[in-house]
């Protein structure tokens, strides 16, 4: 209706534009995929349902588990793997190196689960 209103650029407009820009940036930052293989991630090792060891993923080391079978677990360069086992099928060793929060390696015959925990982007992985 009022032509003048369309033409004048007011302080409020600038404020509104700035707010939109700020919101966009904030939203983008909020939803941006987080680095899931962060150094804060922790490796939890369970055997027979009990937590037997908890180590930072950033701490290189070798853990040897016994039980019905044996698993050699290595943490190196922010990754973890079962590098040696005598369990039938050796699925755990074939799982390779994992580094993302939420991933796990399982040795069913030896009732072992190696899990990386931390701030996860993904709740569960179907495989």
Partner 1 sequence: MKRLLTILLAVSVLLSGCTTGSMGVEQKQYTATFLNLFDTVTTVVGRADSEAEFKEKAQKVHDELLIYHQLFDIYHDYDGINNLKTVNDQAGVAPVKVDERIIRLLVDAKAFYESTGGRVNVALGSVLELWHEARSDGRDDPVNAVLPEQEALDKASTHTDIEALVIDETASTVYLSDPEMSLDVGAIAKGWAVQQVAESSPTGLLISVGGNVCATGPKDTSGTPWVIGIQDPDGGNDYLHTIYVSGGSVVTSGDYQRTYVVDGKAYHHIIDPDTLYPSEYWRAVTIVCEDSGVADALSTALFLLPMEEGQKLLDCCGAKALWVDLDGNIHYSPGFNDLIRT
Write out the residues near partner 1 by the rule CB under 8 A: 12-13, 15-16, 19-20, 23, 27, 30, 33, 37, 46, 49, 88-89, 95-96, 98-100, 102-104, 106, 108, 111, 113, 115, 117, 121-127
8 versus 96: smaller Cβ distance to partner 1: 96
10 versus 64: smaller Cβ distance to partner 1: 10
Q: Supply the minimum distance, in Å, between the C-beta of residue 61 and partner 1.
A: 20
DSSP state of 98: B
Tokens of 69: 């079978």
Tokens 């179907």, residue? 126
Q: Supply the minimum distance, in Å, between the C-beta of residue 107 and partner 1.
A: 9
Backbone dihedral angles phi then psi of residue 124, each to the nearest 5 degrees: -160, 150
Q: Please report how many Cα atoms fall inside a 13 Å half-sphere around the Cα of residue 79, on the Cβ side.
A: 8
């Amino acid at each position: 209706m009022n032509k003048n209103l369309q033409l004048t650029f007011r302080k409020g407009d600038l404020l509104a534009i700035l707010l939109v820009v700020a919101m966009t940036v904030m939203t983008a930052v909020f939803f941006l995929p987080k680095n899931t293989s962060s150094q804060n991630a922790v490796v939890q090792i369970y055997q027979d349902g009990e937590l037997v060891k908890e180590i930072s993923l950033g701490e290189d080391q070798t853990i040897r588990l016994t039980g019905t079978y044996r698993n050699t677990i290595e943490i190196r360069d922010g990754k973890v793997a079962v590098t040696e086992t005598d369990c039938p099928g050796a699925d755990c060793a074939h799982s390779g190196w994992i580094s993302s929060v939420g991933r796990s390696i399982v040795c069913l015959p030896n009732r072992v689960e190696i899990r990386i925990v931390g701030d996860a982007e993904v709740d569960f992985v179907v495989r």
